[in-house]
A = this chain, B = another copy of it.
Amino acid sequence: MTMNTIGEIFRLTTYGESHGAAVGGILDGFPAGVEIDVNFIQAELDRRRPGQSAITTARAEGDKVEILSGVYEGVSTGTPIAFEVRNENQHSSDYEEMKNLYRPSHADYTYQTKYGIRDHRGGGRSSARETISRVVGGAFAKLALKHFGIQIYAYTSQAGDIKLDSDYTKYDLNKIESNIVRCPDAEKAEQMIELIKSVKAEGDTIGGVITCVIKGVPVGLGDPAFGKLHARLGAAILSINACKGFEYGMGFEGVGGRGSQMNDRFANIDGKIRTTTNHSGGIQGGISNGEDIYFRAAFKPIPTLLFEQNTVDKAGNDAIIKARGRHDPCVLPRAVPIVEAMSAMVILDALLANRSAKL
């Protein structure tokens, strides 16, 4: 959670600006002996790629990942895994006039003030291209988690004002990838797609909510006090561009209820200690209890609008700004694999850390 590194034992460190030479990262602490399916990693990356459908940005970035170290004859060796995606299709000139202007609700002003300098082209380091490294890191983590039977499903549960039921168990999570908005409810998905198209036509944007479900997590992951599993998940998810909120289990909605309604009673189910409900979201006292972990993440409407907005320039003078780049009208469909990726990395890290809990 420090600067550009996340994780304690399994760690991802990332780099890269939108219009620089490349984006990429280094995975350290990835265990040896995991078979690395490069096609799977590239497929994960393709899930976040711009230009993948009619409701994403038209930028057609290829985004091919190259693995530079840490994998030998298709198996991880325990040494750091570096990877990179060279930047292409950069229209830096689209951003020339933004060199001295601060785009509303972007990071231009804060970066410029913090560092006294910024690479303004395409948002520089604050660009969503930074999430490429997260998806690659998450893909590696998923390959390791597969060995432990852990599976992660994220989906768009709200786009603009179109919402799914908050109970994920009502949906077939295997249907998420059957539509371009990544929503397991086919009917709502169609409505969301229509909404996004109409918003796009207006040059405006909408936000929404992503729900994530993690199945197969063993009992015991996460630490007391500050290293609680949901605190780690929350930090990871909140660090994704445009994320404004994180809630797990009963979340904000459930806090209005009574303890007697919300408590999860234990029962012996098929010889296992289980809970009969799961308002806890699979985590009790910061430690996984073996039930499904689930959480929701809020994403704001991205701030790049295709019409004029008032702003100021670096000197503080009034100015007008109008984006000309190619942008997403709604970040949700492409954020789904990013949410999964961050979750995968947190779970793998917690799983490795838990190996030291006992003598």
Contacts and interface: CB of A to CB of B under 8 A. Distances in A.
A311 interface: yes
A29 interface: yes
A68 B357 CA distance: 20
B66 A21 contact: yes
Interface string A336-355: 00000000000000001111
Report, nearest first, the 6 A-B pairs whose CB atoms are least far apart. A107-B285, A245-B247, A205-B259, A207-B255, A235-B235, A110-B287
Interface residues of A, number: 154
Interface stretch (A10-18, A37-45, A56-64): A10-18
A106 interface: yes
B15 A79 contact: yes
A76 to B, nearest CB: 8
Contacts of A352: 355-356
A351 to B, nearest CB: 9
Given A6-B226, A82-B16, A111-B285, A247 B298 contact: yes
16 contacts: A6-B225, A9-B356, A13-B13, A78-B358, A102-B273, A110-B285, A126-B285, A126-B286, A245-B248, A249-B300, A252-B298, A257-B301, A262-B301, A265-B310, A267-B310, A355-B356
Contacts of A287: 107, 110-111, 114
